[in-house]
Structure 1
Amino acid sequence: MKSEKDKTLNEIISYCKKKMTDIGNNVEIIADDYDSDAVYNQLQGQVDAYEDIALKCINMTGYSGVMPLEVENQSEDAKFGGTK
């Protein structure tokens, strides 16, 4: 069962993918009418931003936020040079 957080992240991922597709379609339309590198670069920047957001959300899905209690070499003994 998915958590509410994962459901929300998946909604954001879907939104970003839709926006990337919409922008891609606009690039094709604009390319037919204009030969402007500036317009293309601006639209590509938007696609890159949506892609970065989607990837961040993908990496966050399923992550519970729980960290291990002890990290190797960071126990009380390691902090105090092996002696207490």
Structure 2
Amino acid sequence: MKTKKNTETLTKFKSAIEAHLADASTLPKGTYQREKGSTVFFNSKTNNMVIIGADGKFVSGWKLDPNTPQFKNYLNNGVLQ
């Protein structure tokens, strides 16, 4: 399924990011290696994370897979790669 970028899908995407950041289970934890000064907001219940840049703008977000080295490195070192 391919989702087209339009006002409706962008509004849903923005709402999902805002809900993630507002969730009490979402906490700032570490940084994203590729974005200097960034903050990773991680939710340990959903394994979703959102990266906000030093300028306060959205950088990226995705669900971390707990069975990957990336997940283990992030939890142990606070650096998302």
Q: Normalized against structure 1, the TM-score is what?
A: 0.31
Task: Choose 1 or 2 for highest CA Rg.
Answer: 1
Greater relative contact order (CA < 8 Å, ≥ 6 in sequence): 1
Q: Normalized against structure 2, the TM-score is what?
A: 0.32
Higher strand proportion, which one? Answer: 2
